[in-house]
């Protein structure tokens, strides 16, 4: 940060008069946390970190005032949506203010295949609004019901739907982002198409997003299914075949081995003892084609088949997939953690089998089939019995030696953690323009040096 600017929190708060804010320590601490505790390493490093105030802009004009005032007084800014990130993205490392963006949640317009929306809108609420016109988000994290679209673009990478559309970083998956810079006179920039990548998976270090244009997909009636298999590799083979079947409209193919499903309390009767499962979401008109594909995998038996239901009190099956699988385990035992891997597309099933055998008893595999760079591959979120940080590093190194990419979820800097999720644009160069004093989420973009 520029040493010539004296940090002055008190004067900042005076300058923000009229914008809702709190300095009540318990509330500020609560909004300074996310799901970093998934990682025992981050839990040790980030526990207790807190902002000094939470500011809640009501509109873009408030965001601009906050940006200008923070620049004037040298106060760090950590943007926040739903606070569901896993790598401490929304945890302020150097105090300052958390900027809660959730009030910026209006839909500006919707057209066939495209919606323009405030960053603070929860993705579940967004889909509910666009579905009557026949459209929905192309992809969403399994935290769809609690996370915001701005937090997804700035902190997430992909999820339910990525089997068809790829991850957020794929060209065309974020149409535009409106961004407020942190300067003496903040600018408001419309970043379109590839240029929108400057804020994608940048952890809020490159600007405050005040609007997003998100491409949409046709909304289907989705059917949730569980297919039980005698072995994990049977489930993996079937999931891969489903992923490759271009004519079957789907959103999920998630193989999970026994005993992980034993922790899925509400699904007990549908997860037979000793069996691996494949969770799938299939568009209703493709159900017959999916069942026909299952005939090629005769060891599989459907144990659950219901319309996906997101009503309050209901649990759609996607809340057992992606990082919710890990959460189901952590609810029972905090002695586990996880990894984020990407198997090489050229030898997906061989690579999956190799890793499963290598770490048998220590890692419980869990795959999410996705498209990436035009190829079908498996993203993996294995559950790891945590012993020591050294062992965790050994496991990560062993994956990398075998050609499996790791986006390390046990570090909080972009450079060290984002791995294959990093967007291929010059985020560092953009940050030098948009946040010259390095006030946005300082410490998360390690390679940034403040402009003197």
Ligand X SMILES: Cc1cc2nc3c(=O)[nH]c(=O)nc-3n(C[C@H](O)[C@H](O)[C@H](O)COP(=O)(O)OP(=O)(O)OC[C@H]3O[C@@H](n4cnc5c(N)ncnc54)[C@H](O)[C@@H]3O)c2cc1C
Which of these segments, 142-150, 253-261, 276-284, 383-391, binds ligand X (CB under 6 A)?
142-150
One-character DSSP codes across 126-183: HHHHHGGGTEEES-B-TTTTT-BHHHHHHH----BTHHHH--TTSTTS--EEEEE--S
By the rule CB under 6 A, 121 interacts with ligand X: no
Binding mask 313-342 for ligand X (x = CB under 6 A): ---------xxx--x---------------
The interface with ligand X within residues 67-96 (CB under 6 A) comprises 78-86, 89-90
Burial of 287 (0-12, 13-18, 19+ CB in 10 A): middle
CB atoms within 10 A of CB 187: 14
| Residues within window 411-440 making contact with ligand X, judged by CB under 6 A | none
Q: Give yes or no for residue 130 binding ligand X (CB under 6 A).
A: no
Instruction: Give the Cα separation of 89 and 206 in Å (integer).
Output: 13
Smaller CB distance to ligand X: residue 103 or 302? 103
Stretch touching ligand X by CB under 6 A, among 20-28, 155-163, 269-277, 300-308: 155-163
Q: Which two tokens stand for residue 401?
A: 């030696």
- Report how many residues bind ligand X under the rule CB under 6 A: 38
Where does 332-403 show beta strands of DSSP type E? Answer: 336-338, 341-342, 363-364, 367-372, 375-380, 383-385
Both structure tokens of 451? 């402009």
* 155 part of the interface to ligand X, by CB under 6 A: yes
CB of 209 to ligand X, least distance (A): 4
CB 372 within 8 A of CB 167: yes
Indicate whether 142 belongs to the interface with ligand X (CB under 6 A). yes
Nearest to 7 by CA among 92, 99, 101, 97: 97
Counting contacts by CB under 6 A, is residue 441 touching ligand X? yes
Q: Which residue's Cβ lies closest to ligand X? A: 151
> Nearest distance from residue 360's CB to ligand X, in Å?
26
Single out the residue of 377, 256, 394 nearest to residue 326, CA to CA: 256
Q: Which stretch binds ligand X (CB under 6 A): 2-10, 129-137, 143-151, 230-238?
A: 143-151
Q: By the criterion CB under 6 A, which residues form the site for ligand X?
A: 34-35, 78-86, 89-90, 101, 119, 141-143, 147-148, 150-152, 154-159, 203-204, 208-209, 322-324, 327, 441
């Amino acid at each position: 940060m520029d040493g010539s600017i004296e940090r002055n929190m008190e004067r900042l708060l005076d300058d923000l008069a009229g914008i809702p804010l709190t300095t009540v320590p318990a509330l500020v601490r609560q909004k300074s946390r996310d799901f970093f505790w998934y990682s025992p390493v981050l839990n040790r490093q980030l526990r207790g970190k807190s902002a000094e105030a939470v500011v809640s802009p009501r509109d873009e004009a408030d965001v601009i005032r906050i940006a200008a005032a923070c620049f004037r007084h040298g106060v760090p800014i950590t943007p926040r949506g739903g606070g569901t990130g896993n790598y401490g993205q929304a945890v302020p490392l150097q105090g300052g203010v958390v900027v809660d963006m959730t009030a910026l949640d209006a839909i500006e317009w919707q057209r066939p295949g495209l919606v323009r929306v405030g960053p603070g809108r929860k993705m579940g609420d967004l889909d509910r609004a666009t579905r009557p016109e026949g459209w929905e988000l192309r992809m969403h994290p399994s935290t769809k019901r609690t996370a915001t679209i701005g937090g997804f673009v700035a902190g997430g990478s992909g999820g339910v739907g990525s089997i068809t559309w790829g991850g957020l970083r794929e060209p065309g998956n974020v149409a535009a982002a409106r961004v407020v810079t942190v300067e003496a006179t903040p600018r408001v920039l419309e970043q379109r198409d590839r240029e929108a990548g400057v804020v994608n998976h940048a952890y809020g270090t490159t600007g405050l997003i005040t609007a997003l244009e998100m491409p949409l997909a046709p909304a289907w009636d989705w059917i949730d299914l569980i297919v039980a298999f005698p072995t994990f590799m049977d489930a993996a083979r079937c999931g891969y075949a489903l992923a490759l079947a271009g004519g079957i409209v789907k959103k999920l193919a998630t193989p999970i081995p026994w005993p992980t499903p034993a922790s899925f309390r509400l699904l007990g009767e549908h997860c037979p003892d000793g069996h691996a499962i494949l969770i799938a979401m299939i568009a209703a008109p493709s159900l017959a084609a999916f069942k026909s594909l299952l005939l090629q995998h005769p060891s599989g038996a459907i144990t659950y088949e219901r319309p996906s239901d997101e009503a309050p009190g209901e649990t759609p099956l996607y809340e057992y997939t992606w990082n919710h699988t890990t959460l189901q385990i952590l609810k029972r035992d905090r002695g586990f953690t996880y990894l984020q891997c990407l198997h090489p597309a050229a030898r997906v099933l061989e690579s999956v089998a190799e890793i499963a055998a290598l770490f048998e008893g220590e890692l419980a595999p869990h795959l999410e089939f996705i498209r990436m760079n035009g190829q079908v591959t498996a993203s993996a979120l294995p559950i790891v019995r945590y012993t020591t940080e050294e062992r965790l590093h050994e496991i990560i190194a062993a994956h990398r030696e075998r050609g499996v990419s790791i986006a390390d979820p046990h570090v909080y800097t972009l450079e060290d953690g984002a791995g294959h999720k990093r967007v291929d644009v010059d985020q560092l160069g953009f940050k030098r323009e948009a946040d010259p004093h390095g006030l946005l989420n300082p410490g998360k973009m390690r390679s940034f040096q403040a402009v003197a």
